[in-house]
């Protein structure tokens, strides 16, 4: 190393003394316009049921959704993503495809409340199926499993129904092979060629989804999701193949999920696919852990949340789905 690069010539702390200089040399800044807030809708009237494992979040009936939507719009959030808890579940998740299904009602209510707010709909079967898996389950392969290709047809119908109800973006989260292509074709055929797809492209079989499954009442009734979601111990490069395939099938935006335990994957995807909008889902468990520790007085929620989101952004995610979206807008506002 040349002398000119050595202490005392170089003092890294010079950039850190003045608060304005620290700010001037920042490269990562959080912006509410890049955050997407998850919302949970349930049947009934005038219902607001607290989700114990996600403090600060509730299952809302459609008539109570308007206030949340207007708040999200007023705070300047990038958007909301809707998850539905249907009144009836069955083996194929029929309610997911109905034009008067819970998410379809919620989409219409959201568009009524604040037409300018971006509304994303999660496209998956697990909230609607009695068994809680992300597709049709059968034993066609000789073992009980989600039938990939039979599920694609249902996902296409669900996405079209969401688009008809006003979804600005559809977000398939079931990790079925070919799901993006099937949804793209179904949307195009139905006159929705303009509706973008945000694919949960690299979604891992993660224990960090625990609180969400309480929120969405979508815990698998048998087995787990390891036969379709990615193995956390697989080579990180497998995520690149997933993203590449989804892009080839027509994905407009791609997602890595969860976020904090997969920052390496976010960085890898960012570097390999510049120009592709990249989202990361700061999932329920990442939020609940901090909430629980903060409730015990062990950690400063606001500081930890902002640091976590900054890390996710720095790793390369331009868009972050987070349960802190509203709080961040208020903290930064
Ligand atoms: C549905 C879906 C899940 C999440 C988003 N969409 C759950 C799962 O795959 O079990 C998790 C979100 C979170 O934990 O915050 N397939």
CB-based contacts of 100-106 (< 8 A; 24+ apart in sequence): 101/161, 102/41, 102/42, 102/43, 102/62, 103/41, 103/162, 103/165, 104/161, 104/162, 104/164, 104/165, 105/41, 105/62, 105/165, 106/39, 106/41, 106/62, 106/65, 106/82
Nearest to 280 by CA among 305, 255, 316: 255
Residue 239 near residue 230 (C-beta atoms within 8 A)? yes
Query: 124: Cβ below 6 Å to ligand 1?
Result: yes
CA of 197 to the centre of ligand 1 (A): 17
User: What is the structure's pLDDT at 231?
Assistant: 98
> Is residue 132 in contact with ligand 1, taking CB distance under 6 Å?
no
Give the pLDDT score at 209: 97
Task: List the residue whose alpha carbon is closest to atom 1 of ligand 1.
Answer: 173
Q: How far is the CA of 275 from the centre of ligand 1 (A)?
A: 26
Within a 10 A sphere around the Cβ of 273, how many other Cβ atoms? 17
pLDDT tens series, the chain, 333 aa: 888 889 999 999 999 999 999 999 999 999 999 999 999 999 999 999 999 999 999 999 999 999 999 999 999 999 999 999 999 999 999 999 999 999 999 999 999 999 999 999 999 999 999 999 999 999 998 989 999 999 999 999 999 999 999 999 999 999 999 999 999 999 999 999 999 999 999 999 999 999 999 999 989 999 999 999 999 999 999 999 999 999 999 999 999 999 999 999 999 999 999 999 999 999 999 999 999 999 999 999 999 999 999 999 999 999 999 999 999 999 998
3-class state of residue 39 by DSSP = strand
The residue whose CB lies within 8 Å of the most ligand 1 atoms, and thus the one to mutate among 39, 126, 280, is: 126
* Confidence (pLDDT) at 3: 80
Angle made by CA atoms 200, 235, 121, in degrees to the nearest 5: 5
List Cβ neighbours of 309 (8 Å cut-off, separation of 6 or more).
Answer: 30, 35, 282, 320, 322, 324, 328
Ligand 1 neighbour 286 (Cβ under 6 A): no
Distance from residue 290's CA to the centre of ligand 1 (Å):
18
138: phi then psi, degrees, rounded to nearest 5 = -150, -175
Question: What does the pLDDT read at residue 221?
Answer: 92
Atom in ligand 1 nearest the alpha carbon of residue 174: 16
Which residues are part of the catalytic machinery? 203, 257
Question: Is cis: bond before 8, omega within 30 of 0?
Answer: yes
307 DSSP 8-state letter: H
CA of 305 from ligand 1 middle (Å) equals 20
- List the residue whose alpha carbon is closest to atom 2 of ligand 1: 173
* CB of 283 sitting under 6 A from ligand 1: yes
pTM above 0.95, yes or no: yes
Distance 238 CA to ligand 1 centre (A): 20
CATH of domain 29-253: 3.20.20.70
Q: What is the CA radius of gyration of the chain?
A: 21
- Count CB-CB contacts under 10 A for residue 111: 17
In angstroms, the first-to-last Cα distance of the chain is 44
Q: CB neighbours of 182 closer than 8 A, spacing ≥ 6?
A: 152, 153, 155, 156
What are the residues facing 187 on neighbouring strands? none
* Domain ranges (residues) in the chain: 29-253
Q: Whose CA is nearest to atom 6 of ligand 1?
A: 173
């Amino acid at each position: 190393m040349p002398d000119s690069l050595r202490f005392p010539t170089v003092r890294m702390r010079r950039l850190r003394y003045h608060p304005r200089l620290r700010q001037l040399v920042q490269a990562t800044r959080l912006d509410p316009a890049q955050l997407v807030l998850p919302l949970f809708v349930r049947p009934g009237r005038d219902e607001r049921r607290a989700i114990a494992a996600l403090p600060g979040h509730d299952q809302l009936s459609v008539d109570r959704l308007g206030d949340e939507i207007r708040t999200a719009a007023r705070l300047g959030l990038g958007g909301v993503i809707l998850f539905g808890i249907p009144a009836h579940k069955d083996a194929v998740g029929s309610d997911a495809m109905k034009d008067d299904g819970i998410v379809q009602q919620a989409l219409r209510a959201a568009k009524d409340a604040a037409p300018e707010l971006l509304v994303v709909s999660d496209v998956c079967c697990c909230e609607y199926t009695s068994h809680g898996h992300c597709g049709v389950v059968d034993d066609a392969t000789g073992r009980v499993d989600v039938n990939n290709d039979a599920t694609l047809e249902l996902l296409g119908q669900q996405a079209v129904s969401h688009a008809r109800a006003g979804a600005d973006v559809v977000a398939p989260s079931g990790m079925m092979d070919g799901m993006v292509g099937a949804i793209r074709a179904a949307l195009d055929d139905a006159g929705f060629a303009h509706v973008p797809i945000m694919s949960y492209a690299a979604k891992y079989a993660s224990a960090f989804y625990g609180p969400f499954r309480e929120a969405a009442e979508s815990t698998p009734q048998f087995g787990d999701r390891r036969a379709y979601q990615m193995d956390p111990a697989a080579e990180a490069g497998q995520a690149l193949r997933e993203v590449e395939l989804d892009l080839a099938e027509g994905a407009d935006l791609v997602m890595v999920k969860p976020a904090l335990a997969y920052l390496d994957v976010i960085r890898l995807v960012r570097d390999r696919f510049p120009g592709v909008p990249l989202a990361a889902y700061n999932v329920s468990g990442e939020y609940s852990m901090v909430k629980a520790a903060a409730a015990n007085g062990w950690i400063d929620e606001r500081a930890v949340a902002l640091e976590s989101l900054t890390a996710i952004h720095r790793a390369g995610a331009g868009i972050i789905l987070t349960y802190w979206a509203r709080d961040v807008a208020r903290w930064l506002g």
